[in-house]
Structures are given as structure tokens and as C-alpha cells.
Chain A
Amino acid sequence: MSKTTPTQDLVSGIWKQNPVFVTLLGLCPTLAVTNSVANAIAMSSATFFVLLGSSVLVSTFKRWIPKEVRIASYIMIIATFVTFADLVLAALVPDIHKALGAFIALIVVNCIILGRQEAFAAKNTVGRAALDAIGTGIGFSIAMLMMGSLREVLGNGTFLGLHVFGPGFAPWVIMILPPGGFFTLGVYLLIFAWWKGRKQATVHPRRWLHEVTAEAGD
């Protein structure tokens, strides 16, 4: 059972343990489909749905799933929800489904989802598992939106298709190409690392200084 409170379960994944910027999971879709805000929203919505559905089911049936076949069972549950998401997107928003391509199907192998089943949902109650999935899903969505916004605004001069800059703006095309994904992620990781270090230095300056000195001496 989790030693955290339900609130911590919900909040942890949003920022402190953000799946993309802190634990560096789910980087494949984060880099691949964040070349526009619309794609980022669609992918994060699909991932959120799969994560929440899988966590609730895994937590519900954890007593009946033998540990020897637990991973196979989790994958089957996840794949079922991914197929639902794939069909629903193809039926209701075919343009976005076309833009996301194979990455919808690849949600099955997203480390965030399988990781939360093994690390949390399989050991906690349905309610706690749902809170954890919601928090992690929101954290993933925030990361996708941050990536997608910066890349679309700079790479295409638009936000959700609406022009942000005047006609004189020359789009930085590289930002919507694969190198732009790596560059944007690198910038965000740098900001997170700086922010984390600054926070530690502010709250515990002596302790932080001691740790930094000790690390330098190793």
C-alpha cells in the first residue's frame, strides 16, 4: 500500500514527479507528435484515457492476476484501451488520427503507462490508482502542451492554427522537425534542472552546498 496521502498521489505526477521532465519517461511521443498543439492535445488525451482505464482495471483485478503473467495481463489491458482510443479517434477526428499515425498504437509500449501499473496500480486501491493515473496523465498533458506550444509557435508562427505573429515572421522550420523536438526538450530539461537546483539552494543552502561539495570531491 502507498504511504502517501490521496492528495499526494494526485499532485505528485503533475509536477514533482512529472513523467516527462522529471522521470524522463514517454519521450518517444513527446518528441514525435508535439510539432503542433492539436497533435499534442490529441495524443495526451488518448494517453490519459488509456492510463486511467488501465490503472482502474489493473487495480480492480490485481487479486486475480497471478504474478507470473501480470505483465502480459497489463499489456493486454493497455492494448485494449489503446485500440478503443485508436478507433474512437479514427471515427470522430480522422484528420488528427491521420496526423498522429502510428504513435496512437505505440501508446501500448509507453513506459509511463506500464510503469504506473507495475509501480502503483497493482499495489493500491482502485481510488488511489485512479488518482495516481489522473495526476500522471495531467503531468504528461502539461509536458506535451509545453512542447507543442513552443514548437508550433516558433516553427509555424501559429498556435492551434491561429497566427501569432505578423506576416513578417519567418517560421523557424527546424522547430517542427525532429531536431526541434530534441532542442525543445533539452531546453525544458535545463530549465527544470536549474529550477530544482535553485530551489534546493534557497531552502537548504548549507545542505545543498555540502552535497555539491561532496559530489565534487567524489
Chain B
Amino acid sequence: MSEQKLPMAGQGEAPPTPPAAKPTSAARLVGTLAFAGAVAGAAIVMVFSWANPLIQANQAARLAGAITEVLGGAERYETVFLDGGAFTKEPQADTASLDRVYVGYDAAGAPHGVAMVTEASGFVDVVRVIFGYDPATGNLLGMKVLENKETPGLGDKIEKDSTFVGEFVDVGTPLQGVKKDRAAGTHEEVVMITGATISSRVVVDMINRRLEALKEPVGAFWASAATAGAETNAPDTTAAAPTGGGL
């Protein structure tokens, strides 16, 4: 290792130090950031005003597609809100804060089923599903996972495994989640996914809880809709776009 010689006193003059740069004034620093922030904010507002209608339309289309899928056979649907313990099409309170379900109608205008959204904590994060329910028979019409971050290849089969998703079609309620080797073939059984038992059970349990909570008001609304007839329950197709808020 070579030694580096340090300059000794008197052996040479130290190089002149450059003059210290004049510090920038605080006003200029603040002004620069304020100007940059204002320009950035204005630009973001412009892009947002373009993108937001598209994002809202995407979300509405996604929900409408899911409702149609889980109600299997419904031509149209309308949104009804839980206001004062009963479902109504025209609530008194602000709809954004109200729980809601989607009532499907067939081509003749008769009620076909009710779609409900529910969510619960899964193995990794929140799992959000929508399911169709027929109050007349007490059976489920279908189920679709709207959101999940479960383990790829295992837990996410609750969304991708068509056999598991098919288990929720025409099945009695309350659901009974059973392991594959213990299936007895009863009407309420849902065979869970091997290797994703927790995620499967979460889906079964959240549907049961949601049904238990809403069975009575949904049943009451269903009875009034069925007796009122198709004409007095003219579906509001504009309700395809959700009016904001969550369940």
C-alpha cells in the first residue's frame, strides 16, 4: 500500500477556497415550491376531470356486469336502499350512506332475484363478493368475486376456479362449507377448495352473514314487488350506475 504524502506547513500554499455561494432567499425557495405545486395541481385537475367520468363508467359497467352475471337470466335491475329497516326505491335519507341491494327483473317485468354485495377479511386482505339470491326459493343464483388479494395460485381460486364458483349456483341457504372428502351431497353444501380452505370458508361465511342480516327486509320487499306486479314496479334502468358510497 502506497503512502500518500500530506502537504506540510510552509512547503506550499493551500489552493484558494472558492467563494461561498450566496444562499438563496427563503422567499424564493417558498415561491419556487408554491409555483411548482400550483402548476402540478392545475395539471392534475385537468387530467382528473378527463379521467374521472371514464373511471366512474368503468366501475358502473363492472358492477352492472357482475349483477347480471350473478342473477343469471335477469333482463334489468334496479337499486333499492335500506331506509328505516325496510328496502325502498326512493329513500328519505341520503343514498350515499344507505345499505343497498339490486333487484333483478325478467323480460316480463317480474322480480327475478336479488343481488347483494358483501365483504370480509380473507387470508391476505379484504375479499369482496356479489351474490344473487332468490327469496322465493331461498336458493343462491350465483356468486362472483369482485375483489381479492388472496395467494396467487391458491386462495385466488375462489375467483378463478369455475368449479368452486359453480358451487354457488342453485344451492340452498344457509350455505354449508364442506371439505371435498366429507361432502354428503345435501342441497346446502358448497365444496371448498383444497389448499384454500380459509379463503373458501370466508366466502361461505360472509354470504351467510349477509343473508341472515337482510333476509327479512329483502323478503318483505320481494313480497310487495311480486304482488304489486310488473307494471307498478317498472324498473329504473338508470339505476345501473351506482349512486356512490359502499355497503
* Contact assessment for A76 and B37 in the assembled complex, using a CB-CB cutoff below 8 Å: yes
Q: Contacts A65-B32, A66-B29: A176 and B152 contacting too (C-beta < 8 A)?
A: yes
A65-94 to B contact mask, C-beta < 8 Å, 1/0: 111110011001101100110011011101
Stretch at the interface among B48-56, B130-138, B167-175, B211-219: B48-56
Please judge, given known A-B contacts A69-B32, A76-B40, A80-B40, whether A173 and B152 are in contact too, CB under 8 Å.
yes
User: Closest CB-CB distance, A110 to chain B, in whole Å?
Assistant: 18
Separation in Å of the A215 CB from the closest CB of chain B?
A: 15
Flag if A91 contacts B40 (CB, 8 Å).
no
B108 lies within 8 A of chain A by Cβ: no
Q: Identify the closest chain A residue to B151 (Cβ).
A: A177
Instruction: Give the distance in Å from the alpha carbon of A102 to the alpha carbon of B62 in the complex.
Output: 20
Interface residues on A, range: 20 to 34
| A100 to B16 Cα, complex, angstroms | 55
Q: A64-B32, A73-B33 are in contact. Are A91 and B152 (CB under 8 A)?
A: no
Contact B24 A87 (CB under 8 A): no
Interface residues of A, dominant DSSP:
helix
B54 with A92: CB separation less than 8 A: yes
Q: Is the CB of A87 within 8 A of B51?
A: yes
Taking a contact as CB atoms under 8 Å apart, the answer to whether B32 and A80 are in contact is no
Q: Bound state CA distance, A91 and B48, in angstroms?
A: 10
Tell me the complex Cα distance, A51–B210, Å.
Answer: 46
Query: Quick one: which of A77, A91, A101, A155 contacts B54, CB cutoff 8 A?
Result: A91
A18 lies within 8 A of chain B by Cβ: no
Question: In the complex, which residue of chain A has the Cβ closest to the Cβ of B62?
Answer: A94
A94 in contact with B40 given A73-B32, A173-B153, A177-B152 (CB within 8 Å):
no
Query: Quick check: is A35 within 8 A (CB to CB) of the other chain?
Result: yes
Q: Which residue on B lies nearest to A101, using beta carbons?
A: B149
User: B154 contacts which chain A residues (CB < 8 A)?
Assistant: 173
CB-defined contacts of A176 to chain B, threshold 8 Å = 152-153
**Chain B CB within 10 A, most for which of A67, A77, A90:** A90
Q: Known contacts A73-B36, A173-B153, A176-B153; can you find 16 more A-B pairs with CB under 8 A? A: A66-B32, A68-B23, A69-B29, A76-B37, A76-B40, A77-B40, A80-B40, A80-B43, A88-B47, A91-B51, A91-B54, A94-B58, A156-B153, A171-B153, A173-B154, A177-B153
**Which residues of B are in contact with A by a Cβ distance under 8 Å?**
23-24, 28-29, 32-33, 36-37, 40, 43-44, 47-48, 50-52, 54-55, 58-59, 62, 147, 149, 151-154
Interface pairs (6), CB distance under 8 Å: A68-B29, A73-B32, A73-B33, A83-B44, A91-B58, A176-B152
